[in-house]
Structure 1
């Protein structure tokens, strides 16, 4: 297969070398032309007990950092960790007897720990959000408090914040929360987005219909698979070969400008990363 003459970034996927495909998934990505990865920690309860204190989040964070180090031995470009707290954790905590406010405080402490990894260097950004399913008003309010805390940490550490939220094409209110805390809107990224989004930067699920909309919008966007690397869910979401395949499809259709937007310009805008420079130098 011909090489792709462009960096190819998957903006959101998971790697689990202990339980899943791990580096075999990275090799698949590279074989199809992939070059760069943003690796998000799996939900903490997938890698051990439901956290009961701040230090418990470290297990998922360290596993992700180790996976990124291994991926960097394989990639022609570079991988970076994105660390944080999955918003679905609040439901697990409430089920175990936590009050929503107690769950909020624990999740915010997990984000504080993730932010230390950003401040110290290994992590590129943070991940937070709110449930994408129906919850009580108290859980919704607590979840929004966690989300706002994450946005504040992003402003404090000048880093991007990836969001897991309900399906929507309008998150202007969340963008306003970010701006109020000093985090530029473009540094807020909606993971699992459609092709167009009011407010934050969309990280578009790499399905053709969504990508067509993103291309036509002319706006900044990223591409992702949300590959979960879970042997119990082998067909879940999209596989690691998908982003390079979709890039090839876009290039064949003459959408070179859109490919540059998603894989060079928007990563620089959102994260301050140079996908061309890291590809050339192998840094």
Structure 2
């Protein structure tokens, strides 16, 4: 299937060792997809026990290698998004780290990620847990998130965030602007169709996309495909974004498609998906 528009999935994961890997990329491309932002999988899902900052490199470099291979299968290209999943704080504290120690290690992991920006990676990933945690872990997680925002400003790159579900994350947008990172370069992964504060990366379900399209505000589209054979039905599959682009076009949302796949990627990441 081909479109008269580029088609970008703003957030998915690839696992060439245990998951579908390049088969998933082929599914995306055959369905009309052209561009991908590939986020490194959480370290523990790759069998990596992080004890020191250098331990993050394996996940980062695996992702960079995957992206190089994926780009060969696309009409456009793929880019890596590197960072530290906020859920790592729970794995670390369960292993005996204090919340402060866990947060410091995660901040150091983000520092490592910036070494790949902009030469190899396009953006950073951070956030805070979306589940119930103690006050100490919450505070440590917010310090990690704020550190990521500061690194985004220092390295002139966007920051994708995994956070709790919300339609108002003004507080986080304010933290970004206080650190000289424009709020539109802070991307809320797994967003609904309405969000105040950061840029929404909308999960590609019809109701969420219809709300985003009708609002007429900038947004991105994603699947959060996790490429985990043990959870084959989790989140959305790699064909979903192209299929939803076709649906949006059929519904007359041509302007929204251009917004999500041309204008917003240009504004947030400085990338060109046309041509």
Counterpart secondary structure, 1:123:
coil
Contact persistence 1:47–1:59 (CA under 8 A): no
- How many angstroms does 1:226 deviate by? 0.1
**RMSD of aligned C-alpha atoms?**
0.6
Q: Deviations over 1:48-100 (max 9, x none)?
A: 23200001001110110000000011000010000000000000000000000
Q: Secondary structure at the match of 2:248?
A: helix
Distance in 2 separating the partners of 1:110 and 1:211:
33
Report matched runs for 1:17-166 at 5 Å.
Answer: 17-119=16-118, 121-166=119-164
Q: Give the Å deviation of 1:217.
A: 1.1
Give 3-state SS (helix, strand or coil) of 1:117's partner. Answer: coil
Name the counterpart of 2:266: 268
CA distance in 1, matches of 2:45, 2:67: 18
Q: Which runs of 4+ in 1 moved over 6 A?
A: none
Q: Partner residue of 2:166?
A: 168
Counterpart-to-counterpart distance in 2, 1:49 and 1:193: 28
Could you give the per-residue CA deviations for residues 157-186 of structure 1, whole angstroms, max 9, x where no partner exists? 010000000000100000000000000000
**1: CA distance, partners of 2:217 / 2:80:** 25
What is the CA–CA distance in structure 1 between the aligned matches of 2:170 and 2:249, rounded to whole Å?
Answer: 31
Q: Which moved more, 1:45-54 or 1:129-138?
A: 45-54
Shift of 1:33: 0.2
Output aligned runs, 1:188-267, within 5 Å. 188-267=186-265
Deviation at 1:253, TM superposition (A): 1.0
**Cα deviations by residue, 1:204-258 (Å, 9 ceiling, x for unpaired):** 0000000011001111000000000001111110000000000000011111100
